[in-house]
Amino acid sequence: MKVVSIEEVINIDKKTIEKIPSILLMEHVASEIFYLLLKRHRKTLYNKTVHIFSSVGGNGGDGLAIARYLIKNGYDTKVYLTGNIDRVNKDTYINFNILKDMNVNVVYLASEEKVFEVTQNIEEGDIAIDSLFGTGGNRALAEKEKLLIDKLNSLNIIRIAIDMPSGLQSKINDYDNINTCFKAHETYTICFAKDIFFLYKTREYIGKLFIIKSIFPKEILDNAEYKALLINHNEKINIERSAFFSKREQGNLAIIAGSSDYVGAAVLSVKAAYRSGVGYIRLYVPKGIEKTIKNIIISQMPEAIIIGVGEENQKYFTESDIAIANDINKSDACIIGSGIGRDISTEVFINSILKQINIPTVVDADALYLMFQNTLEELPENFILTPHIYEFEKLTGINHIEALENPYNALSIFREKTKASIILKDAISFFMKDNQIFINYNPTISMGKAGMGDVLAGFVGSFLARKLDITEAVKLALTIQEKSFEYAAKRFGNDFVQPKDLCFYASKILKRI
């Protein structure tokens, strides 16, 4: 699914209207949103009231058309209008007149006093639909509109935005110090995800994102310029499987992980990789923690091969351990970095061994902190870096807030430094392969806990070892991560999901998809 700029959306709308009447486009959108509302909130629709807030522009017309569908089907719906009636959009005006003919009372929000009156009568649990301003709403909000949105945001209701939350572009443009924006629980965006949905200043206002199918001409959609692609978690990705495969044909994965202070990271990576179907794992750990690692892992995963590296009491990897590169390269893929610590001797080890590994490799955690700039620049295309936003700052020198505010630009700067791919992990993750950016939209409470990155690295490494290409491996790993979390959250609650729970559910998800 394409992620496009606001300017491109406006351009697409203009081209489409030359071929398809705009009123027909509006009707189709209203119909699709009505059925999505039924699917998502049928029980609430039976018991509560839907409040639709529209303006005189095209997005307001969508809201009025949605109101028609709801009222026609017997759902309690109240409709409100704001803006200059003398400047009403022609399609919006048509829907306004149809509602009048249906004897629907459209309440005009003429003053702040009227806003107070209306919002005070909204009951807990009702649904508020924001269809005030869409992609054309790039101006600062008026005081009356700010008040309305602030009041709606303060209520214990279900908030749904049509196309995009009103005021979102003000958050980008800093029109004022208040920067009021409708805070949606769900956003029903038309045809394309918009690039500004995924920025630091705006992402908290989107909620759960749904793409509404359009009837835009195929040639226009195909030729639309896009900044990124949204990862589709329902996409089918095939992994070659056979009853006659040996363990090696199911994938041979090498994992270089662990230190005396971070034993658990190695365990999580191994567990995630096995649960996602890899056939054979060789885990390389410092000799001094080999016994501890074996005591933890062998009872749970006796099939793992654990190899102690270095001197008997060695707690970290050192420059003397570089010789394991020859053995590592016999595997199908590698993970390096989980829990290795930041000892100075490990720094030398990391920057030496990365230049000697020639198989697909996931570089994670402390290995990212220890990596020199010249090492980064020399990494080949079959490497994937998996930094969180602070590790990304260390790698690139780009301030983490600056990177979050414009991730597209930050990733372009990263691309100039190296051929390696990257998963920039955050509430919204960005994956870049070559010059193509993919977005994983999955802002989930507790996904940022310690250990979640080790699990993701295990998933990616497993799929690389099973011969998926980098793009397929990452997309599948992010999908497994999200769906496993959803399963675990149903059982334990969002706040209480642990990284090991994702490992447990990974195999169930893989079986389903």
Q: Output the known binding site for AMP.
A: 425-429, 453
**Could you tell me how far CA 368 lies from the centroid of its own chain?**
22
Please give the full DSSP string across 147-207, using - where no structure is assigned.
HHHHHHHHSSSEEEEESS-TTHHHHHHT-SSS------SEEEEESSEEGGGGSTTTGGGT-
Contact call for residues 62 and 22 (beta carbons, < 8 A): no
Binding site for (6S)-NADPHX: which residues?
Answer: 265, 339, 388, 454
In whole angstroms, give the CA distance from residue 456 to residue 155. Answer: 37
CA distances 302 to 152, 212, 250, 306, Å, are: 55, 48, 17, 10
Contact call for residues 315 and 502 (beta carbons, < 8 A): no
In whole angstroms, give the CA distance from residue 447 to residue 426. Answer: 9
**Count of other CB atoms within 10 angstroms of residue 270:** 31
Q: Specify the amino acid at residue 123.
A: E
* Distance spanning both ends of the chain, measured CA to CA: 19
Nearest-CA neighbor of 227 among 393, 394, 1?
A: 1
Query: Position of tokens 């038309």?
Result: 190
In whole angstroms, give the CA distance from residue 392 to residue 369. Answer: 9
In whole angstroms, give the CA distance from residue 256 to residue 262. Answer: 13
Contact call for residues 1 and 211 (beta carbons, < 8 A): yes
Would you state the torsion angle of the CA atoms of residues 107, 111, 117, 123, taken in this order, to the nearest 10 degrees?
60
Q: Which residues, listed in sequence order, are joined to residue 210 by a DSSP beta bridge?
A: 188
Main-chain phi, psi angles of 64, to 5 degrees: -65, -40
Q: Which two tokens stand for residue 96?
A: 């306004």
Q: 77-81 and 305-309: which strand pairing?
A: unpaired
Inter-helix orientation angle 6-17/22-47, to 10°: 120
Q: Which residues, listed in sequence order, are joined to residue 336 by a DSSP beta bridge?
A: 256, 363
Q: Which two tokens stand for residue 286?
A: 């410092």
Q: Which two tokens stand for residue 24?
A: 């027909």
Binding site: which residues?
Answer: 265, 339, 388, 425-429, 453-454
Please give the full DSSP string across 100-155, using - where no structure is assigned.
HHTT--EEE--SHHHHHHHHHTPPTT-EEEEES--TT--SPPPHHHHHHHHHHHHS
Strand blocks (E) in 376-500: 383-385, 421-424, 428-433, 436-441
Enumerate helices (H) and strands (E) in the chain, giving the number of each. Answer: 20, 19
* Rg of the chain taking only CA atoms, in angstroms: 26
What DSSP state is assigned to residue 83? S
Contact call for residues 350 and 371 (beta carbons, < 8 A): yes
